[in-house]
């Protein structure tokens, strides 16, 4: 018997631990959930699937509990990551922020312009301009991680930083442009709860329970205020302490880090896949190929595939050429282009913004999903192929054959 072989009884548990520790696993699980939703939505279970999502529990449909409730925890994690990276991580200095910041800005502006080029004259669809502006960090990093060590770590750091800034931009867009009629009393309650959370931080309270209790109240107040409830998650995250005192180094046992590590597996392996399963289902019954040529799905698909690539790569390349930032260590122009293609994977955030843009139109909602699927699949496939060709020991012949410059 091989001495290094694990006993049969331990293999499943070891596999599960390895799977959950792999950064690509969350993206893989999201892909599986989305594929399963498509299968169910086009099967005899279709009616049960859609009826369940529209079933009301405690005043909200199950679909709303997922999109407004569970996704608030997703945005809480996003907020925790943004704060950590801005204070003590990859975005802690201006020199580190320049390249991913400029690339993220270009990667939000150009896709929106591409979408508007197809939809500016259509009042029914123009509100979806922000749908292709967001990058799905789990999906994109999942594809990048599947390529293994042939891709420099610096590019993974660049993509992570870019996606975090991208998420921050998406949060701001949701707050400014996808807010319903406001309730001033509810906003007042939310403001008081936010003040209490800031007070806990200022007085050095490091126990998580009071933050979470007030955060739950903040979520309820924001939900009733007309501002999208998920923004409560980001707001709560910004009040969770990272440092013991102003100017001190981050504590490895800080409340922010404990909360981030505690909820990350739940978000990656439960909340995001559940969101994908609940929102990716679209019935193709009665559809024909002409849906792909409609201004809404075409604007989204090309916004993600072309807009993201041009916006991210163009601004990043120009910033490097002008000397304002350096190429990520060990990377080259062709690899940067491949990562820019991966930024067109807009799955989770794009579906989320699409649901906010067209909350009362199932037809437009289905068109959004078709556009997001098309753009994300094209971006993932093209990005993976390019990075496979331009990375690793076998890259040079492929680059020469394609006429691509591998240098900086």
Q: Which of 191-205, 230-244, 350-364 has the highest average model confidence (pLDDT)?
A: 191-205
Q: Is residue 59 part of a domain?
A: no
Q: Residue 10: what pLDDT?
A: 47
User: What value does the mean pLDDT take over residues 75-93?
Assistant: 83
DSSP 205-253: ---HHHHHHHHHHHHHHHHHHTS-TTHHHHHHHHHS--SSSTTPPPPTT
Distance from C-alpha of 31 to C-alpha of 242, rounded to nearest angstrom: 33
Q: Over 279-299, what HEC string results?
A: HHCCCCCCCCHHHHHCHHHHH
Q: Which of 24-33, 79-88, 133-142 has the highest average model confidence (pLDDT)?
A: 79-88
- Based on the fold, state whether residues 188 and 200 are members of the same structural domain: yes
The residue ranking higher by pLDDT, 79 or 3, is 79
User: What value does the mean pLDDT take over residues 312-339?
Assistant: 92
Q: Is residue 141 part of a domain?
A: yes
Q: Is the dihedral of CA 253, 259, 265, 268 positive or negative?
A: negative
DSSP 113-181: HHHHHHHTT-TTTGGGTTGGG---HHHHHHHHHHTGGGS-HHHHHHHHHHHHHHHHHHHHHHHHHS--S
215 pLDDT tier (thresholds 50, 70, 90): very high
Q: Is the pLDDT of residue 17 over 80?
A: no
- Based on the fold, state whether residues 202 and 173 are members of the same structural domain: no
- Based on the fold, state whether residues 208 and 168 are members of the same structural domain: no
Q: Is residue 10 part of a domain?
A: no
CB-CB neighbours of 362 under 10 Å = 11
194 pLDDT tier (thresholds 50, 70, 90): very high
Q: Residue 11: what pLDDT?
A: 54
- Based on the fold, state whether residues 303 and 166 are members of the same structural domain: yes
CATH number, domain of 121, equals 1.20.1530.10
User: What value does the mean pLDDT take over residues 213-217?
Assistant: 95
Q: Report how far Cα 151 is from the mean position of its chain's Cα atoms.
A: 21
Q: Is residue 380 part of a domain?
A: yes
Stretch among 112-116, 151-155, 207-211 having the lowest mean pLDDT: 151-155
Distance from C-alpha of 72 to C-alpha of 220, rounded to nearest angstrom: 11
Counting residues of the chain whose pLDDT is more than 90, the rounded percentage is 44
Contact criterion met (CB below 8 Å) for 275 and 66 = yes
- The pTM assigned to this predicted structure is 0.77
Q: Report how far Cα 196 is from the mean position of its chain's Cα atoms.
A: 29
- Residue 366: exposed, middle, or buried by beta-carbon count in 10 A (0-12, 13-18, 19+)? buried
Q: Residue 399: what pLDDT?
A: 40
Contact criterion met (CB below 8 Å) for 368 and 351 = yes
Bridge partners (DSSP) listed for residue 404 = none
Residue of 384, 305, 406 whose CA lies nearest to 338: 384
Stretch among 3-12, 75-84, 313-322, 361-370 having the lowest mean pLDDT: 3-12
The residue ranking higher by pLDDT, 145 or 278, is 278
217 pLDDT tier (thresholds 50, 70, 90): very high
Residue of 43, 59, 81, 60 whose CA lies nearest to 171: 81
Instruction: Give the chain's domain count.
Output: 2
Eight-state DSSP code of residue 22: S
Q: Which of 183-187, 240-244, 291-295 has the highest average model confidence (pLDDT)?
A: 183-187
- Based on the fold, state whether residues 130 and 209 are members of the same structural domain: no
Q: Is residue 13 part of a domain?
A: no
Contact criterion met (CB below 8 Å) for 101 and 165 = yes
- Based on the fold, state whether residues 147 and 201 are members of the same structural domain: no
Q: Which residue has the tokens 């669809």?
A: 125
Domain boundaries, position 303: 94-179+287-391
Mean pLDDT of the chain, nearest integer = 84
Q: Is residue 47 part of a domain?
A: no
- Based on the fold, state whether residues 342 and 358 are members of the same structural domain: yes
Q: Residue 346: what pLDDT?
A: 87
Q: Is residue 142 part of a domain?
A: yes
Q: Residue 178: what pLDDT?
A: 84
Distance from C-alpha of 31 to C-alpha of 246, rounded to nearest angstrom: 42
- Based on the fold, state whether residues 194 and 112 are members of the same structural domain: no
Distance from C-alpha of 338 to C-alpha of 147, rounded to nearest angstrom: 12
Q: Is residue 268 part of a domain?
A: no
- Based on the fold, state whether residues 186 and 153 are members of the same structural domain: no
- Based on the fold, state whether residues 170 and 120 are members of the same structural domain: yes
CB-CB neighbours of 246 under 10 Å = 5
- Based on the fold, state whether residues 194 and 146 are members of the same structural domain: no
Q: Is the pLDDT of residue 382 over 60?
A: yes
Distance from C-alpha of 312 to C-alpha of 118, rounded to nearest angstrom: 21
- Based on the fold, state whether residues 114 and 161 are members of the same structural domain: yes
């Amino acid at each position: 018997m091989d001495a290094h072989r694990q006993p049969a009884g331990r293999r499943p548990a070891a596999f599960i631990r390895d799977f959950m520790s792999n950064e690509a696993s969350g993206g893989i699980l999201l892909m599986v959930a989305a594929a399963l939703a498509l299968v169910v939505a086009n099967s005899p279970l279709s009616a049960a699937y859609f009826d369940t999502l529209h079933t009301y529990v405690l005043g909200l449909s199950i679909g709303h509990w997922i999109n407004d409730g569970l996704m608030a925890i997703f945005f809480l994690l996003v907020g925790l990551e943004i704060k950590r990276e801005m204070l003590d991580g990859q975005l802690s200095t201006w020199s580190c922020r320049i390249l991913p910041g400029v690339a993220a800005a270009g990667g939000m502006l150009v896709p929106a312009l591409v979408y508007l080029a197809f939809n500016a004259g259509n009042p029914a669809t123009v509100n979806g301009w922000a749908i292709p502006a967001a990058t799905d960090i789990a999906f994109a990093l999942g594809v990048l991680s599947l390529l293994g060590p042939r891709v420099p770590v610096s590019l993974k750091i660049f993509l992570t930083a870019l996606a975090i800034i991208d998420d921050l931009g998406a949060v701001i867009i949701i707050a400014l442009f996808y807010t319903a009629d406001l309730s001033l009393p509810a906003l007042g309650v939310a403001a008081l709860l936010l003040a209490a959370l800031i007070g806990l931080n200022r007085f050095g309270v490091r126990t998580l329970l009071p933050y979470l209790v007030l955060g739950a109240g903040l979520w309820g107040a924001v939900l009733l205020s007309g501002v999208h409830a998920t923004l409560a998650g980001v707001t709560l995250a910004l009040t969770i302490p990272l440092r013991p005192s102003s100017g001190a180094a981050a504590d490895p046992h800080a409340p922010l880090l404990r909360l981030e590590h505690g909820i990350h597996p739940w978000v990656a392996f439960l909340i995001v896949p559940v969101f994908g399963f609940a929102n990716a289902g679209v019935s193709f019954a009665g559809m024909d190929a002409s849906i792909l040529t409609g201004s809404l799905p075409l604007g989204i698909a090309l916004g993600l595939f072309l807009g993201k690539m041009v916006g991210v790569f163009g601004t990043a390349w120009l910033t490097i050429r002008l000397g304002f930032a350096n190429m990520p260590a060990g990377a080259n122009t062709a690899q940067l282009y491949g990562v820019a293609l991966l930024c067109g994977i807009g799955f989770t955030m794009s579906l989320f913004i699409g649901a906010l843009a067209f909350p009362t139109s199932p037809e437009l909602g289905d068109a959004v999903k078709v556009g997001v699927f098309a753009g994300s699949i094209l971006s993932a496939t093209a990005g993976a192929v390019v990075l496979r060709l331009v990375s690793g020991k076998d890259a040079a012949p492929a680059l020469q054959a394609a006429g691509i410059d591998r240098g900086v």
